[in-house]
Amino acid sequence: ARPTAVAAVDLGASSGRVVRGVVTDDAVHVEEVHRFANGPVHQGGSLRWDVRGLHREVLEGLRLAGEVDSIGIDSWAVDYGLLDASGELLADPFCYRDSRTEGVTPAEGLYEVNGLQFQPFNTMFQLRAESLLPQASQLLLIPDLISYWLTGERGAEYTNATTTGLIDVRTGQWSPELTRDLPGLLPPLRHPGDPAGAFEGVPVTAVGSHDTASAVVAVPATNDRFAYISCGTWSLVGVELPEPVLTEESRAANFTNEGGVDGTIRYLRNVMGLWLLQECLRTWNARLEPLLREAATASGAVFDPNDPVFLPPGDMPARIERWCGKSLSPPEVVRSVLDSLALAHRDAVEDAQRLSGKEVEVVHVVGGGSQNELLCQLTADACGLPVVAGPAEATALGNVLVQARAVGAAHGTLTDLRELVRRSQPLRRYEPR
C-alpha cells in the first residue's frame, strides 16, 4: 500500500503554497507542489485580498498534489469574508493593513476576557468599521472560507478564531458578551484534527488553521524550555504555555494568549517582521540575496520596528530614514532592519520569560526568515542564547502533522510530532557571540 500522504495548503501574506506531505513512523517529508505570490491589492481606495485568485491557485495545487488521504488549510489570521443569505461572498476581504481601523481603542477589561494583545486589525475592531454587516449572514475567516468553497461546509477553526478577539480565553468558546451584537454571524467552532467535510471525495481535516499555530506545532524542540520566532511577514515571538497569562503587566507589554493546537496557549508578541524588508525590496525593485550579502558588513541604525508608521504598505526605506533621522544606503537600510528586528526579538524573548515565569535555553527560528543567516546570528547575539534555525516550511509541516495524526499516520503529543520534525528536517545552529 502507498504510505499515507496529505496535502497542506498554506496561505502566507507574501506567498501561498500547496505541499504534499508523507509521514512515516520516524520521519515527515514535504514536497512543494505549487507556489504562488500573494499580497494585499489596492482596490478603489481600500486594501484587499484577491481571495478568488487564491482559491484558483489552491485548486491547481490540489490537482498537482495528486492522490492524498486528507487536505488541510491554514492562512494568516484575523481577516474574513462575509457571506450573504445564499452563501455568496459579499466582497473581497479587507486586508488587515487597510486604514479603516486607524484610531480604534480597546474597551477596559477586554484583555481579561479574550487575552489578546491589542492590534487595531483584530477582527473585532475590523467589524466596528464594517459596512456590509447588515447584508451579511455569516463570517468566515480566510482558511474557513477556502475550506467552505472546497467542501460546502462551514465552521470556525478554533486557533484562528482566537485571533478575532471574540473568543473567551477562559472557556475557549465564542464569548456571549463580546458577540452579542453579531447574532448567527459566527459559525460553530471546530478544533485541529476534526473532520471538516470533503473535496472530491477526499476528507478535509481541520488543522491549526492560524498559520502561526501550525508553525509552532513544527518547532523542532527537544524539551519545553524553548522560545520560538515564527519569522516571515511577521515575527511572532514567544513561548508555549499550558494556561494564559492575563495580568495587567502582560496586557501592558502587549503579549497575546492565542489558542494553540492541543489546548496550548501561544503566549507571544507580534514584531513587525520581514514585512519591512519586503516593502523595501518592492520600493527598490531589488532582490534580497545580494543586499543581504552587503548588509553583513554594513553599519546600521536602530529603530522601533513596531512603530505603527510601518504597518501600511508604502515607501519603507523613506520611513526608516525619517525614523532614524539620517539618510542610509540600501545595504545600510537592510542592516538597520535586521539589527532592529534582532533587538525586538530579544525584548520579546526576555519579556515572555519574565511575564510567564517560563525560562528558556534555546530560541527556535522557523519560517522563511530562518533562511536569513545574518538575522539568525544577530538574534542569537542579541538574545545571548543559541538559535536553532529551521524548518523554513514549519507552517506547512505543522499542517501536515496534525492531519497525519488525525488520519492515524502519526501518534502522540506535540513532543512526539516535534521529534519527527527534528529527525527529518535540516536545522542549523547559531551560537551567541
What is the binding site for ligand LRH (CB under 6 A)?
Answer: 12-13, 76-78, 96, 210-212, 233-234, 236, 270
Q: How far is the CB of 278 from ligand ADP (least distance, A)?
A: 5
- Binding partner at 417 among ligand ADP, ligand LRH, none, C-beta below 5 to 8 Å by kind: none
Q: Does 369 bind ligand ADP (CB under 6 A)?
A: yes
Q: CA-to-CA distance for 180 and 38, rounded, in angstroms? A: 34
> Per the omega criterion (within 30 degrees of 0), is the bond before 426 cis?
no
Would you say 211 or 393 has its CB closer to ligand LRH?
211
Asked if residue 364 lies in contact with residue 226, where contact means CB atoms within 8 angstroms, the answer is: yes
The three-state secondary structure class of 236 is strand
Q: Does 283 bind ligand ADP (CB under 6 A)?
A: no
Q: How far is the CB of 290 from ligand ADP (least distance, A)?
A: 11
Q: State the DSSP string of 33-86.
A: EEEEE---EEETTEEE--HHHHHHHHHHHHHHH-S-SEEEEEE-SS-EEEE-TT
- Residue 304 annotated in active site: no
Q: Does 233 bind ligand ADP (CB under 6 A)?
A: yes
Asked if residue 234 lies in contact with residue 273, where contact means CB atoms within 8 angstroms, the answer is: yes
- Report the DSSP pairing between strands 235-241 and 256-259: unpaired
Q: CA-to-CA distance for 309 and 412, rounded, in angstroms? A: 44
- Report the DSSP pairing between strands 362-366 and 226-231: parallel
Q: Does 371 bind ligand ADP (CB under 6 A)?
A: yes
Would you say 270 or 372 has its CB closer to ligand LRH?
270
Residue 259's DSSP bridge partners are 265
- Binding partner at 192 among ligand LRH, ligand ADP, none, C-beta below 5 to 8 Å by kind: none
- C-alpha cell belonging to residue 79: 481577516
Q: How far is the CB of 137 from ligand ADP (least distance, A)?
A: 31
Q: Which of 211, 347, 351, 416 is catalytic?
A: 211
Would you say 93 or 331 has its CB closer to ligand LRH?
93
With CB under 6 A as the contact rule, the residue among 114, 117, 179, 372 that binds ligand ADP is 372
DSSP assigned state of 261: G
Residues 6+ apart with CB under 8 A from 88: none
With CB under 6 A as the contact rule, the residue among 12, 165, 187, 390 that binds ligand ADP is 12
- Binding partner at 367 among ligand ADP, ligand LRH, none, C-beta below 5 to 8 Å by kind: ligand ADP
The backbone torsions φ and ψ at residue 280, rounded to the nearest 5 degrees and listed phi first, read -65, -50
Q: CA-to-CA distance for 81 and 79, rounded, in angstroms? A: 7
Would you say 138 or 256 has its CB closer to ligand LRH?
256
Residues between 348 and 367 with contacts to ligand ADP, criterion CB under 6 A: 367
Q: Does 278 bind ligand ADP (CB under 6 A)?
A: yes
With CB under 6 A as the contact rule, the residue among 368, 390, 391, 398 that binds ligand ADP is 368
Residues 6+ apart with CB under 8 A from 255: 117, 238, 245, 267, 268, 269, 351, 352, 355
- 53-61, 259-267, 274-282, 316-324 -> range binding ligand ADP (CB under 6 A): 274-282
- Binding partner at 274 among ligand LRH, ligand ADP, none, C-beta below 5 to 8 Å by kind: ligand ADP
- Binding partner at 96 among ligand ADP, ligand LRH, none, C-beta below 5 to 8 Å by kind: ligand LRH
- C-alpha cell belonging to residue 37: 505570490
Q: Does 388 bind ligand ADP (CB under 6 A)?
A: no
Would you say 348 or 420 has its CB closer to ligand LRH?
348
Residue 364 belongs to what H/E stretch?
strand 362-366
> How many degrees, rounded to 5, is the angle at CA 147 between CA 95 and CA 256?
50
Q: How far is the CB of 412 from ligand LRH (least distance, A)?
A: 26
Looking at the annotation, which residues are catalytic?
211
Binding residues for ligand ADP (CB under 6 A): 12-15, 232-233, 274, 277-278, 288, 367-369, 371-372
